[in-house]
Amino acid sequence: MTEKEYDKALEAHKSSSPPSAPAWDPREWGWLRWVIILLGVGIFATTIVVPLKVIRMTKYPSYSRLGYSLTDAYEGEGFFELFNYGNGTEETHGFTNYVTKEGAKWSNLTYATSDQAIVRVLSKDITGTAGRPTVKILSKQRYTHGLFIFDIRHVPYGCGTWPAIWLSDTDQGVWPEHGEIDVIEAVNQGDRGAQFTLHTTDGCNMSVKRKQTGKTLSYDCLNSTNYNMGCAVRGAPNSYGEKLNSNGGGVYAVEWRTAGIRLWFFPRDQIPANIEFGKPDPSEWGIATADFPSTRCDINSHFKNHRIIINISLCGDWAGAPPVYTKEYSCPMKCAEYVGSTPEAFEDAYWAINSIKVYTAPNS
């Protein structure tokens, strides 16, 4: 082969060889380039992603002082004139028969004096299978935002009971789109303390910075999670049951505003002076019992148009569930059987309410 023929053959071979891969093709990267890239990813995560997560976990709304003024007072002999009565069975599948206003008056399950309003369970023998007669009342007035002061002298307790004072919109087909705020809730003896809970649709989570003295039980407020538990906080043992009643009750306060929802419990001998003087100011109350900030929950879109609701349910999905009724509280028989056959057990199953006062503030 001549030199000329060799050069021509070499040139033909080069033109038929596949082109080299571009620099961005990972198949052409060596170990050094891989090391540099992995170090870059780590630096990005450390300098950008982690600080963003830290910022989210340390972010906290401003609960600046608001000037509250009295809007509504539920007290005295006219207490029940400000409420409507629910009637029929309980949606939580309890052995519960809510009576009408006339039925409650006839059986003395609701009555008011100048000092207190009483809401109770019938503690006499019952006939039929609908459930033990009890009461559910709903305020005629509705609220979006406010400072709610519940002065409670006595709470219902005992095996089979599921009492609650709560705020919600219970109109047909609305719940839980407008949210629910459980101000005071407990089951059976209630000696674990009161439970403070939010129930919402999706998009409200409390895995954020919070300032509270209560014990967090769950973080996701979506009602369908955790067996419909919502996001719950439990107060101290003296915040409910026999311990509370023996201390003369106490005050439960709820501040509901754009920044968040906070709840406090004050034993009778620790009620702030500004509450007793009718000038409540949460900025002077210290750390809340339960804190639900707006950090990962748009309060205004999840909570609106609420009534004040007071009821005493019996048995049902929580109080009567065997792991709770039998195992946790060691209550006798099956729940419905016990509630139906032992009327004397419900002599302490009543609310004694000194007053409920609602305060509002502009730009809350």
Catalytic positions are 180, 185
**Token pair of 14, please?**
């080069």
Our measurement of the distance from residue 150's CA atom to the centroid of its chain's CA atoms, rounded to an integer in Å, reads: 17
Cα angle at 23 between 21 and 25, to 5 degrees? Answer: 65
Cα Rg of the chain, angstroms? 30
CB-count exposure of residue 123 (10 Å: 0-12, 13-18, 19+): middle
Longest dimension (CA), the chain: 125
Dist. CA 309–CA 92, nearest whole Å: 15
Q: Which of 255, 199, 195 is nearest to 226 (CA)?
A: 199
| Residues in contact with 312: Cβ distance below 8 Å, sequence separation at least 6, in sequence order | 119, 120, 121, 134, 135, 136, 156, 161, 162, 163, 349, 350, 351
Q: Comparing C-alpha atoms, which of 363, 227, 360, 199 is closest to residue 292?
A: 199
- Which residue, chain included where needed, has tokens 């709610």? 148
Task: List Cβ neighbours of 84 (8 Å cut-off, separation of 6 or more).
Answer: 101, 137, 138, 139, 140
